[in-house]
């Protein structure tokens, strides 16, 4: 099996971690203990898959040896069945190990910011943006993740021209990074009296949360404006200058923030979003430099790429990147994205494995 030396090193390190975690006083240093726990959890799937591979290989060798000396027909049939089972388990474990050993995206465990913007279609596109927001919030809830609204620009009929929110939970980026791009809806709008099907779009961007160490921002490149908040916001609205507008000169990014009651909180939120956007821009720049890698991956994050169509009259959702169509639009729009996302992950892994084989 390819990469056996690397796997043996991983298994040895896993056993060292297990020993370190079981030592008396291991939890006395909480920071070190948590680091060891995380590392152990990351290596456990590889170790368990390799142990299944080793057992199956041993079972295969035993069955082959016994077959050489066995003359009883019934025993030979039983040994052949054991041999077939062992071969299948070896193939399964090998495939699992190949996937587990793929280079891991360093952002996979990060929290994310999602930004949804209404596109073509006027009020209907704003309503669709609101539907997508609810879909992702429901998906987050199914995964035990928390959502936190950052900013939004609402229309009078319950839609969003744009909305930015955070999803806080381990692995959020690993699953939702495939959602970046143009989403298209085909349905009869509630405002349409003639029953005609309209096509509208909304754009989704998924940005891993960036720490201060990930992005360097010169304070001199930022200009702050403060003003009084408007709209819903409780007693502080129109009484204090709590709303802020951040302008980042080098990138041209402008962020409005008024959701929190204090100016300081709004500034902190605006900075977090700025870091995430700048980090995403840097990731996209690197991916553009690695054009071959970008083409080999599913869901590269290109916001101009039309990735999915939601057709309500036919109860159909089609992901155009992997040519997958599911006839369960009600479940999907209510947050049941597991089948779609797992198919995207599988396709992405297959593309990466194929790329490695070519190399």
Q: What's the pLDDT tens digit per position in 214-238?
A: 788 999 999 999 988 765 444 334 4
Residue 302: per-residue pLDDT: 52
**pLDDT greater than 60 at residue 291:** no
Domain ranges of the chain: 4-100, 112-210+301-358, 219-286
Give the β-pairing of 181-187 and 306-311: parallel
* 140: region left, alpha or beta (phi > 0 left; psi from -120 to 50 alpha): alpha
Residue 156 CB partners (closer than 8 Å, separation 6+): none
Structure confidence at residue 6 (pLDDT) = 86
What pLDDT is stored for residue 296 in this prediction?
Answer: 45
Per-residue confidence (pLDDT) for residue 221, from 0 to 100: 94
From 326, 322, 318, select the one nearest 344 (Cα to Cα): 322
Helix, strand, coil % over all residues of the chain, rounded to 5: 50, 20, 30
Percent of the chain, pLDDT > 70? 90
Return phi, psi of residue 130, to 5°.
Answer: -65, -40
Contact 178, 250 (CB under 8 A): no
Convert the pLDDT of each residue in 101-123 to its tens digit.
888 888 898 999 999 999 998 89
Would you state the pLDDT for residue 300?
A: 46
Quick one: CA dihedral 304, 288, 223, 266, positive or negative?
A: positive
Chain-centre distance for alpha carbon 346: 13
Q: What is the mean pLDDT of the chain?
A: 87
Q: How far apart are CA 22 and CA 147, in angstroms?
A: 36
Architecture field, domain 112-210+301-358: 2-Layer Sandwich (3.30)
pLDDT tens, residue by residue, 48-85: 999 999 999 999 999 999 999 888 999 999 999 999 99
Q: What is the average pLDDT across 350-359?
A: 75
Per-residue confidence (pLDDT) for residue 359, from 0 to 100: 53
Tokens of 314: 């036919």
CA-closest candidate to residue 346, choices 317, 321, 315: 321
Neighbours of 209 (CB within 10 A): 20
- CATH 3.30.160.20, domain 219-286, yes or no: yes
Q: 24-33 pLDDT, tens per residue? A: 988 898 889 9
Mean pLDDT of 330-353: 93
Q: Find the length of the chain.
A: 359
Q: How confident is the model at residue 298 (pLDDT cuts 50, 70, 90)?
A: low
Mean pLDDT of 26-44: 89
Query: Which two tokens mark 136?
Result: 């992702």
**286 phi/psi in degrees, rounded to 5:** -65, -40
- The CATH classification number of 4-100 equals 1.20.58
298 vs 235, more confident: 298
Q: Environment class of residue 47 by beta-carbon count within 10 Å: exposed (0-12), middle (13-18) or buried (19+)?
A: buried
| pTM passes above 0.85 | no
Q: What integer pLDDT is reported at residue 324 of this predicted model?
A: 96
- 3-class secondary-structure state, position 193: coil
26 CB neighbour count, 10 Å cutoff: 14
Whether the Cβ atoms of residue 229 and residue 245 lie closer than 8 Å to each other: no
Percent of the chain with pLDDT over 90: 62
| Tokens of residue 190, six digits | 């509630």
């Amino acid at each position: 099996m390819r990469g056996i030396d690397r796997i043996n090193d991983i298994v040895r390190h896993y056993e060292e971690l297990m020993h370190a975690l079981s030592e008396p006083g291991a939890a006395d240093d909480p920071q070190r203990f948590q680091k060891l726990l995380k590392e152990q959890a990351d290596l456990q799937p590889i170790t368990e898959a390799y142990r299944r591979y080793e057992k199956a290989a041993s079972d295969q060798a035993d069955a082959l040896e016994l077959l050489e000396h066995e003359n009883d027909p019934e025993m030979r049939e039983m040994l052949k069945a054991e041999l077939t089972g062992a071969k299948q388990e070896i193939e399964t474990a090998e495939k699992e190990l190949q996937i587990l050993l793929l280079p891991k995206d360093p952002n996979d465990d990060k929290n994310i910011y999602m930004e949804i913007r209404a596109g073509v279609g006027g009020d209907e596109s704003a309503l669709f943006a609101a539907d997508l927001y609810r879909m992702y919030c429901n998906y987050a809830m199914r995964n035990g993740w928390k959502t936190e609204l950052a900013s939004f620009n609402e229309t009078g009929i319950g839609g969003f021209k744009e909305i930015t929110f955070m999803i806080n939970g381990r692995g959020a980026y690993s699953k939702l990074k495939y959602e970046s791009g143009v989403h298209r809806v085909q349905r009869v709008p509630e405002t349409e009296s003639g029953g005609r099907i309209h096509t509208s779009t909304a754009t989704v961007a998924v940005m891993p949360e960036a720490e201060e160490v990930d992005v360097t921002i010169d304070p001199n490149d930022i200009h702050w404006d403060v003003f009084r908040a408007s709209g819903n916001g409780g007693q502080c609205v129109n009484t204090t200058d709590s709303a802020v507008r951040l302008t980042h000169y080098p990138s041209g990014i402008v962020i409005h923030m008024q959701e929190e009651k204090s100016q300081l909180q709004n500034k902190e939120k605006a900075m977090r979003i700025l870091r995430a956007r700048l980090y995403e821009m840097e990731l996209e720049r690197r991916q553009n430099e690695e054009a071959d890698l970008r083409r080999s991956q599913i869901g590269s994050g290109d916001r101009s790429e039309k990735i999915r169509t939601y057709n309500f009259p036919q109860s159909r959702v089609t992901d155009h990147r992997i040519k997958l169509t599911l006839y369960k639009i009600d479940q999907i729009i209510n947050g049941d994205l597991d089948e779609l996302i797992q198919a995207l992950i599988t396709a992405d892994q297959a593309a990466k494995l194929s790329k490695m084989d070519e190399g």
